[in-house]
Amino acid sequence: MPLTIDLTGHVALVTGGGRGVGLGVTRRLLAAGATVVSCGRTVPDGPLPPGAEHRTADVRDAEQVRDLVEGIVADHARLDLVVNNAGGAPYALADEASPRFSAAIVGLNLLAPLMVAQEANRVMQRQDGGGHIINISSESARRASPGTAAYGAAKAGLENLTRTLAVEWAPRVRVNAITVGPVRTEQAHLHYGDEDGVAAVARTIALGRLAEPDDVGDLCVLLASPFAAYINGSAILLDGGGTRPAFLDAANADHP
């Protein structure tokens, strides 16, 4: 008998679920049968996949987060999965970034996921079956992050937070992270330039391509399933095998 993942009856919240990586997560959770609620500060530019709900909320605001979670539970009676996906940062060199700018980046990428997780945990601890929280991290957490220093530091903190919450909230609530490498989204050009730039980046990755948002969504489906019941406190690297070390190309280059 083939193994299948059926999340019918599961209620999921995906922050920032209306575009980019979050839209891929929304799409794949829906395909697995879950009820999916997306949230964001504004209404998505394009339509959500059929069956998805959208609620307007700023995940940096504790009161709005509380109302968001309470509203989902009031309408659906439970909350089984949270994917903390909302985040990001514009390019800014560290010596030019203002304290206010840096605090905002840390707030969005570290403190907001914590607030969402806290509200979700209160629900999950008392419901049958507990729950699962997935934090979307970045490879910037594990390497230098020039141009996005506060973002990289916040994502490193998010991975440590994941491990801590996994210990504090077990066994009823599992907490994991996905450490994502380059992803081809509608905003990829902001990071990698035109199609030639995207192709050049893809050639540095072992699997020869950038991740697609659905790749992240598929891993979320797996982590939310019974097949991942013993995975807790992990930060799973999703980077296609990583990039070729720069020193190898430098060592083999023609030198003047």
> What is the tens place of the pLDDT at every residue in 61-82?
999 999 999 999 999 999 999 9
Residue 184 pLDDT:
82
* pLDDT tens by residue, 7-16: 999 999 999 9
Instruction: Report the percentage of the chain scoring pLDDT > 70.
Output: 96
| Residue 251 belongs to some domain of the structure | no
Residue 248 pLDDT:
76
**Structural domain boundaries, residue 170:** 11-239
Q: Measuring CA to CA, which residue among 133, 48, 152 is closest to residue 84?
A: 133
Q: Do residues 87 and 104 make contact, with C-beta atoms less than 8 angstroms apart?
A: no
Q: Per the structure, how many domains does the chain have?
A: 1
Summarize the confidence of residues 160-189 as an average pLDDT: 91
176 to 72, 150, 197: CA distances (angstroms): 22, 22, 32
Which listed residue (91, 151, 192, 230) is catalytic?
151
Catalytic residue status for 151: yes
Burial degree of 225 (CB within 10 A; 0-12, 13-18, 19+): middle
Summarize the confidence of residues 136-142 as an average pLDDT: 96
| Residue 4 belongs to some domain of the structure | no
Tracing tokens 């990428």 back to the chain, one arrives at 109
CATH of the domain at 89: 3.40.50.720
| Residue 67 belongs to some domain of the structure | yes
Summarize the confidence of residues 220-231 as an average pLDDT: 97
| Residue 1 belongs to some domain of the structure | no
| Residue 254 belongs to some domain of the structure | no
